Amino acid sequence: MKTNKFLIGFVVVFSILITSFVFYFYQVFFSENILVEKGDEVILIEEDMDFQDLQDIVYDRGIVNDMLSFSFVAKLLDYQENMKPGLYLMKKDMTNLQAVRMLRAGEQIPTTTTFNNVRLKPDLAGKITDNLQADSVEFLRLLNNDSLISAYGFTQENILSMFIPNTYEVYYTISEQKLFDKMYAEYQRFWNDERKQKAKALGLSPKEVSALASIVQAESVQSDERPKIAEVYLNRLERNMRLQADPALVYAVGDFTIKRVLNVHKEVDSPYNLYKYKGLPPGPINLPEIESIDAVLNPDEHNYIYFCAKPDFSGYHAFATNLRQHNINARAYQNALNRSNIYK
């Protein structure tokens, strides 16, 4: 009888232990433990982080309710040795198993890269990698790699025209080379058949459109005026006239603090000195925005071949079909400058 009672007691205790273990196992793996009664959050795991760093992040931000169970599941799934950098979306009410599996699989969410207001290659390299793991120095090296950019059909002078200013979705861990490839794919997508046909109708290649658009963009802060300015330059090209673009001359001189172009500046020997050389420059003088590119592709129709800033300093320009009227407009602007303190 005593033996039976012992066995029954043992079975009861063992059953309780098994039940407790199964319940605990279930709780650890399948109970909600991430952002319980909170909202979704994004975490960034960087290349040099270890599991302790991750624990600090999720603890400090209150993402994990029970750190012990989360760490236990991570240990069982060998996550500590298989951490992958990237941006991850931690969803409210995730279980430990869901969270660790997602992190271990490297199921990142995309981030964005945005670049505009770019003049030189270092500017682009810095801005395009600013929100990413990619290194700006390495990306600049790619921009300066003759054999690489030649394979894409570009030169050192016009490679910037491959980059269309916009906001793009990429993964945080994208490599410099894949980022370069991504931008080339976006360039091809941007230059669809419609835009190519418009460029051809103007007698320009896409790269030449970008070069002209960069000048048009630099000429006016008023975007609604850019199609009108674009037509002035197109009229000049059609008449085989020098473009005489001040922004291109400033680029040729390399001193971007210049506010008034002087005759001495016009002596510089550079293909970007469009007072000295006919035609378009060998590449863009900045990264033209989509709006500026489309201004060239969709110019206003007029016969103007001259323009200068208006004396009211509104940012708009006075246009002329002949040199006589242009000189009158230019004199009015110069007199306004002389009366002001803008360049003094």
Q: Examine the pLDDT at 261 and tell me if it is beyond 90.
A: no
Question: pLDDT-derived band of residue 258, with 50, 70 and 90 as boundaries?
Answer: confident
Measured between alpha carbons, how far is 96 from 115 in angstroms, rounded to an integer?
A: 38
How high is the pLDDT of residue 24? Answer: 60
Average pLDDT, the chain: 91
Average pLDDT over residues 146-167: 97
Question: pLDDT-derived band of residue 14, with 50, 70 and 90 as boundaries?
Answer: very low
SS3 per-residue string spanning the chain: CHHHHHHHHHHHHHHHHHHHHHHHHHHHHHCEEECCCCCCEEEEECCCCCHHHHHHHHHHCCCECCHHHHHHHHHHCCCCCCCCCEEEEECCCEEHHHHHHHHHHCCCCCEEEECCCCCCHHHHHHHHCCCCCCCHHHHHHHHCCHHHHHHCCCCCCCHHHHCCCCEEEECCCCCHHHHHHHHHHHHHHHCCHHHHHHHHHCCCCHHHHHHHHHHHHHHCCCHHHHHHHHHHHHHHHHCCCCCCCHHHHHHHHCCCCCCCCCCCHHHCCCCCCCCCCCCCCCCCCCCCCHHHHHHHHCCCCCCCCEEEECCCCCCCEEEECCHHHHHHHHHHHHHHHHHCCCCC
Measured between alpha carbons, how far is 243 from 85 in angstroms, rounded to an integer?
A: 50
How high is the pLDDT of residue 342? Answer: 56
* Least trusted range by pLDDT, from 17-21, 107-111, 328-332: 17-21
Backbone dihedral region for residue 93 (phi beyond 0: left; psi -120 to 50: alpha; all else: beta):
left
Measured between alpha carbons, how far is 115 from 167 in angstroms, rounded to an integer?
A: 7
How high is the pLDDT of residue 338? Answer: 83
Residues 6+ apart with CB under 8 A from 22: none
How high is the pLDDT of residue 134? Answer: 96
User: From the CB of residue 139, how many other CB atoms can be counted at a distance below 10 Å?
Assistant: 23
Give, in order, the Cα–Cα distances in Å from 172 to each of 35, 52, 128, 147, 192. 23, 21, 12, 27, 28
Tell me if 337 sits within 8 A of 330, measured CB to CB: no
C-alpha 28 chain-centroid distance:
42
* 38-59 confidence digits (pLDDT tens): 999 999 999 999 999 999 999 9
* 182-220 confidence digits (pLDDT tens): 999 999 999 999 999 999 999 999 999 999 999 999 999
* 95-145 confidence digits (pLDDT tens): 999 999 999 999 999 999 999 999 999 999 999 999 999 999 999 999 999
Tell me if 239 sits within 8 A of 321, measured CB to CB: no
What sign results for the dihedral spanned by CA atoms 224, 225, 231, 236? negative
pLDDT above 70 coverage of the chain, percent: 91
User: From the CB of residue 81, how many other CB atoms can be counted at a distance below 10 Å?
Assistant: 8
Question: pLDDT-derived band of residue 13, with 50, 70 and 90 as boundaries?
Answer: very low
Q: Examine the pLDDT at 344 and tell me if it is beyond 50.
A: no
Q: What backbone torsions phi and psi does residue 95 show, to the nearest 5 degrees? A: -90, 165
Tell me if 55 sits within 8 A of 73, measured CB to CB: no
Q: Examine the pLDDT at 19 and tell me if it is beyond 90.
A: no
- Residue 2, judged by CB atoms within 10 A of its CB (0-12, 13-18, 19+), counts as exposed
Q: Which residues pair with 32 in a beta bridge?
A: 95
